[in-house]
Structure 1
Amino acid sequence: METKIVILGTGTPNPIPERNGPSVAIIVEDKSYLIDFGTGIVRRAEEANRMGISSLEALNLKIGFLTHLHSDHTIGLPDLIYTPWVLERQEPLKLFGPEGLKDMTHHILEAYKQDIDARMYGLEGANTEGIKVEVQEIEEGLVYQDELVKVEAFLVEHPPFKAYGYKFTTPDKVIVISGDTIPSENLIKHAKDCDILIHEVYSHEGVKQRSPKWNRYHTSVHTSSLELGEIAKRANPKKLVLYHQLFFRVPDKEGNVISEVDREIEMINEIKQNYKGEVISAKDLDIII
């Protein structure tokens, strides 16, 4: 049995076509476990299905974990609720996440009530179970366990939200995902000596080119590439995977715009000033084992 990670989306609120909204799937045997629900989540999952990962077929999208309520992490939630049901998912979607997720889910279902009624009572005759959503609002600790995986939630720091990271323990791997956060001692504690740490990051150099407002925002709620190198040095994962990458490809004072490739290399080098392990800057649909 080999656990796989499928990176469904590596993006941010910025509408970069090749980078869908943040979403990660952990695959154990024939089951998929989703973390965050960014733009295009079901279509990216279908692309992975066509690559041979059948546990990401729409019918098999049944369990999801939300890190926090920011729109770029939740805007794909209606897609995750409705599209697999339209394709005849037969059982309720199970969601785990912070306080507020029940309210958000309730309002999404209410917003699409006419659509639900049309599909359920019209010619489609849609089933009554696959549209249901079972939401569990979580606190720190063990939030889910089955025969394949144990999932623990831990608080991170992404003000003003109550935000969580997750630790997945499978038969062959320990995988930790940060969600959005500034450098977090709690994350370092939970990620210590894990196999794979998936962590958000912004460019230490690139943020200097942002306006004072946006520089203050990003440095107050996210983690720079230099900071991430320090985090990884202390947590000591076997692999560090970058996602939710903020490259800040904005003009410098001379009007030059650094390429994403060059910025990516620069960020990895900044991380490697302190962390000597393997660093993977993830792209959408990367498969990591």
Structure 2
Amino acid sequence: MTDRLTLLGTKGGPAIRPGGPNPTSMLLDLSGRRIVIDCGLGVSRGLAETGMSLKELDLIFITHLHSDHVLELGPLIHTAWTTGLDHAVTVHGPEGTRAVWAGFLASLVYDIEIRIADEGRPDLAELVTVVEYGPGEIFRDGDLLVEALRVDHPPVTDCFALKFSGTGHTIVFSADTAPFPPLVDFARGADILVHEAMLPEGLESIVRRTGNGARLREHLVASHSFAADAAQIAMQAGVGMLVLNHLIPADDPAFSEDHWRAAVAPHWSGPLVIGCDGLAIAL
């Protein structure tokens, strides 16, 4: 298995629009493990389109419980189960993740029970273990190490940047966050920093199309980072590559890759990737 990062869903926010990208999800192949990071709408199809059989599902990490990061957690696992999943899957998520999974099982109890009885499938509930985590080391297996850093994403308290280290590579995911200086040390020397990003000139477009006016604008500015902020974190941390992800806006034809590159250019001159759904990055 080649170590690589595949961006499955690169849009910030839960809304989906015709021709636009999907909300947040990623696949990290590292140290012989297939690791899903966040489960926004489209994650199941996105994984299948990488060529992965969903019955290979192994490890899932959720950064926080906003819907654009967790809405397809249950459906992904259930779809993997109907594809032939018969081994344990572990979900690592912040406090509240167990309740999300329990609620999904309750909502599909009729389907799950009838498939167990009629199709001879294993008990789905018994295949899945949910581990709720906080800051610090949250997973270690062989040379694979995963660490979490609580970031600044009000009003969500339990939102975590994640750092994956293995086979000589380090990949850091900012999760959703306002500009957060502690990310510099957390990402120090990483091969790749995947950081959320907004375009200042795109905010009015988002507000106009989504609604909620001043309240939505206030949330975006208080809880997220502009592309220039991500670039400064990457520069200060000395990372090998900056990947802009969770893009706001991501589905407005008025804004192109050139806008993102121009926003980053004053602060970052290293390798830069502007996220798009289905993009694979070799490690």
Is the CA contact 2:22–2:40 (under 8 Å) kept in the aligned structure 1? yes
Where structure 1 has 5 or more consecutive residues not aligned to the other structure, the ranges are 50-55, 251-257
Matched, 1:114 2:110: yes
C-alpha RMSD over aligned residues:
1.9
- State the 1:18 CA deviation: 4.0
Match of 1:135 in 2: 130
Match of 2:33 among 18, 31, 34: 31
1:13-162 residue pairs with structure 2 within 5 A?
13-16=14-17, 17-28=19-30, 30-49=32-51, 56-122=52-118, 124-128=119-123, 132-161=127-156, 162=158
TM-score, scaled to structure 2: 0.90
1:233-252 residue pairs with structure 2 within 5 A?
233-247=235-249
Where structure 2 has 5 or more consecutive residues not aligned to the other structure, the ranges are 208-212
Encode CA deviations 1:126-161: one digit per residue, 9 max, x unaligned.
122576320111011111111251111111111111
1:215-226 residue pairs with structure 2 within 5 A?
215-226=217-228
Matched, 1:201 2:203: no
Distance across 2 between alignment mates of 1:180 and 1:61: 24
Match of 2:159 in 1: 163
Aligned-pair identity (%): 29
Is the CA contact 1:149–1:169 (under 8 Å) kept in the aligned structure 2? yes
Equivalenced residues, count: 273
Distance across 1 between alignment mates of 2:140 and 2:250: 39
Distance change in 2, residues 1:288/1:249 (3 Å) = closer
Distance change in 2, residues 1:25/1:163 (3 Å) = same
Is the CA contact 2:62–2:92 (under 8 Å) kept in the aligned structure 1? yes
Is the CA contact 2:6–2:28 (under 8 Å) kept in the aligned structure 1? yes
Higher relative contact order (CA 8 A, sep 6+): 2
TM-score, scaled to structure 1: 0.89
- State the 1:267 CA deviation: 2.0
Match of 1:191 in 2: 187
Match of 1:280 in 2: 273
Structure 2 counterpart SS, 1:158: coil
Encode CA deviations 1:214-244: one digit per residue, 9 max, x unaligned.
3211101110112222222212211000111
Runs of 4+ in 1 over 6 A off after TM superposition: none
Is the CA contact 2:140–2:146 (under 8 Å) kept in the aligned structure 1? yes
